Chain A
Amino acid sequence: MSDHRIFYRKEDTARYISHLDTMRTFQRALARAELGVRFTQGYHPHADVSILLPLPVGFSSRCEVLECTLLEGTDLERVSERLNAVLPRGLWVEGCAPREKAPKELTWVDYQITLEYDGGTPADWGEQVRALLAQESWVVEKKSKKARTGVTTLDLIPLIRSLTWKEEGDRVVLEGIFAAQNPGLNPQVLVDALAAARGELRSDYARFLRRSLLDSRGETFR
């Protein structure tokens, strides 16, 4: 178990760094910043870091969490400054603190989704989506590496805590709070489900921004 959490944003070109590569990038940045961290044991010791909730490639985020154990005596106040001097474009550390809540308390994730419709937003967009959300259950198939068939089913309704939207010309900006884990709802799955249910809801492009992590009471997860 790691002792510290580093809170960072992942935006701009850094959106395209995969989960594993992001960990590697931080391992090297920690070394560049000469911030000592605990290493793993074994044949290939390396800086022991992990990222709390993998962010899909292409998503922006303002609330990423990297866990590691900084060596005793590290001035936590200065960690952001030292890392920000050596991180690639788009990764930006906002703070570092001792670990508070257990990872299992991470319950909800607040997302902003922007759907772009090049031919203009469908006229009855809101009504159609409201109707879909009003269903008792909304089961979709989801690719799975674990299931023998390669597919599992997922009911979206219980995974959506709230969803609101604003239509702005040829785009719709949605704000939603979705389940974080066990199972979590990847908002891409929701966007695909909209398109699968009603063809005219298929957007030309979807942009995703993770805005905050919440615990079961809806308070910020730290």
Chain B
Amino acid sequence: MTRTLERILSRVQKPGRYTGGEYGEVRKDPAQVDFRFALCFPDTYEIGMSNLGLRILYGVLNGMEGVWCQRAFAPWGDMEAEMRAAGLPLFALESGESLRDFDVIGFSLGYEMAYTNVLNMLDLAGLPVRAADRGEDAPLIVAGGTCAYNPEPLAPFIDVFSLGEGEEALPELVELIRRGRQAGWSRKELLREIAGLKGFYVPSLYEVSYHGDGTVAAIEPREGAPFPVTKRIVADLDHSYFPVDTMVPSTEIVQDRATAELFRGCIRGCRFCQAGYVYRPVRAKSEAVAARQALESCRRSGYEEMTLSSLSTSDYRPLVDLCDHLLEYCGPRKINLGLPSLRADNFSMGLMQRLQSGRKSGLTFAPEAGTQRLRDAINKNVTEEDLLNSCRTAFEGGWNAVKLYFMLGLPTETDEDVLGIADLARKVLYTFKKYGTNKARGVRITVSTSCFVPKCHTPFQWEGQVDMDEYRRRVELLRGAMRERAITYNWHDPETSLLEAVFARGDRRLADVIEHAWRAGARFDSWTEYFSMERWLDAFREVGLDPAFYAGRQRSREEILPWSVTDVGVRQDYLWREREQAYRACITPDCRKQCTGCGANSFLKGGKCDE
């Protein structure tokens, strides 16, 4: 550690974020390293280190001979100020080397509100934020993650987007860059070659033109670049890398526990859920592999808590066997086994009760909508009966706190649907009054609403978002209808939802807005202490773009969508059909009942998902 850094660390909050040195961190002999890969997460250490994808890629890349993958996170404001004052460029935690000396800087993009941090981290590394301004020798800037499915707002800043799962794609990228280095390719030549690799989108090779009304007129690939660019997946999860010997941070992080991954993709097809579409097809690990990885992760990390991760845990076929298996190990060692994202059904509740030891805290359900009609429209296959039965089981078992999550502003929502949320909350309250075993303690029912954000590659990608005033009106309507003391109502502010809706479906011209906001001081926009809507609205005004054009406008089937250059394997006509089903409030059966032909099975040999 340098003297400069040591002095800075004595003045900042949570200095342990900036030192590395955790158990499981990979250190290599620089003499044996010919390729440096900086894996960056554009948020704090505590959030970035909680990301399983980052840990997978860290392990995969460090498993390559001569490659040293290191980490960097966004420094908090106090640290940023100190670094800028001292002229200390952004460095990697493992070696302390400046990021600008790396071969590749890779960003994981999980949410739109982290975009300004990407620019800020590039700037802190001493690099021009725009790809066009970076020199021949600058590191290659790569970005992947869920947000890469609409890469356009970041297109001018990023050299290469990696679409889909990276564990097989990134090693191919590294090998190609090595080959280019030997052959003496220019940056331009390298980018052209990368565009030929499966799953990589090189935005500078595509020209976008616009109609007078601001919609996209054409997206034209140049120099033989493919159109569209199809995402990558790992077909066989049983034989793919999983970080059982992962890092254990010495300071507390958000997800401070061992994680086992059960499957990728989701059979449910909730129409608002981007993850449910972009992670298709469904691929499960076998029980034996999931159990082995889970136990190894526990044993080698020493964590006192383990969580089973996937989009909908209760849909894992051998879940009961797996839990029995894990409990044999975890029980005597007092390791807590957590099952997130359980469905509100009898099966899941039975399982919950068996796993729960000690104090019974709150349970969380996400009915998403207040009436059966709207739940059918969004294809959230949960009935009121399921929910109330689950609550009954919970209350009878001694639980006395329930959290219910909803969205306001879902397509086709009426005031009746909004008021349905209040009805449902009240029915949960009556269920407690009737069946609660611990009535003296009372019950806490927390209703939370957020503003629906239409996302690309979902059936609602053509929808307009309700504007902020309308969202606020619906919040007030709901608030007025829930006066019971046992019911608490929390609602998210719609400002960040509006911006998310803009960037989730925006085009390249928005890059100017992002850069403008960042230059005006925007960073950590998902943190209320940093966020300023004023600053964003100023940026839109300065650049001459209207957020409502992107967020609130209903798009037609014919419109060329800015993200049509990316292909997740689910066909656009399938999404449109799902949208029509939504307007008829018709449900689509889950993938296990019947294949409805979304197209994602084409990624798998034999075309069979979820085997």
Contacts and interface: CB of A to CB of B under 8 A. Distances in A.
11 contacts: A12-B1, A14-B250, A21-B16, A29-B302, A31-B302, A31-B303, A39-B334, A44-B359, A45-B334, A57-B16, A90-B21
Q: 8 closest A-B pairs (Cβ-Cβ)?
A: A13-B21, A28-B302, A31-B302, A89-B21, A32-B302, A13-B19, A16-B16, A43-B358
A24 interface: yes
A208 to B, nearest CB: 10
Interface string B24-57: 0100000000000000000000000000000000
Contacts of A17: 16, 250-251
B1 A24 contact: no
A32 B7 CA distance: 33
Main secondary structure of the interface of B (DSSP, over half): loop
A205 B10 CA distance: 9
Interface in A43-72: 43-47, 57-58
A158 interface: no
A110 to B, nearest CB: 22
Interface size band for B: 20 to 34
Interface string B568-605: 00000000000000000000000000000000000000
Interface in B291-305: 299-304
B248 interface: yes
A17, A20, A57, A88 pick with most chain B CB within 10 angstroms = A88
B19 A87 contact: no
B336 to A, nearest CB: 8
B145 interface: no
Given A18-B251, A32-B300, A58 B1 contact: no
Interface of A: 12-14, 16-18, 20-22, 24-25, 27-32, 39, 42-47, 57-58, 86-90, 204-205, 207
Interface string B526-551: 00000000000000000000000000
B252 A24 contact: yes
Contact of A88 (B250, B299, B334, B358): B250
Given A32-B302, A45-B334, A21 B250 contact: yes
A211 B107 CA distance: 43
A58 B22 contact: no
Contact of B301 (A16, A20, A28, A207): A28
A22 B334 CA distance: 20
Contacts of B358: 42-45
A204 B86 CA distance: 14
B333 A31 contact: yes
B360 to A, nearest CB: 10
A205 B7 CA distance: 7
Contacts of A39: 334
Nearest to B335: A31
Given A24-B252, A32-B300, A18 B21 contact: no
B185 to A, nearest CB: 38
Contacts of A87: 23
A86 B333 contact: no
Contacts of B9: 16, 58
Contacts of A90: 21
A207 to B, nearest CB: 8
B20 interface: yes
A18 B19 CA distance: 13
A187 B334 CA distance: 40
Contact of B25 (A28, A29, A89, A205): A89
B15 interface: yes
Nearest to B336: A44
A17 B21 CA distance: 10
B334 A14 contact: no
Nearest to B299: A32
Nearest to A87: B23
B217 to A, nearest CB: 54
B331 to A, nearest CB: 11
Contact of B1 (A13, A25, A27, A43): A13
Interface string B345-387: 0000000000000110000000000000000000000000000
A43 B300 CA distance: 25
A42 B357 CA distance: 11
A88 B23 contact: yes
A84 B15 CA distance: 23
A16 B19 contact: yes
Contacts of B15: 16, 57-58
Nearest to B248: A28
Nearest to B27: A89
Contacts of A24: 252
A29 B359 contact: no
B560 to A, nearest CB: 51
Contacts of A43: 358-359
B429 to A, nearest CB: 26
A47 B301 CA distance: 15
B15, B300, B303, B359 pick with most chain A CB within 10 angstroms = B15
A21 B17 CA distance: 12
Contacts of A88: 21-23, 25, 248, 250
A106 B611 CA distance: 64
Contacts of A13: 1, 16, 19-21
A15 B1 CA distance: 12
Contacts of B23: 25, 28-29, 32, 86-88
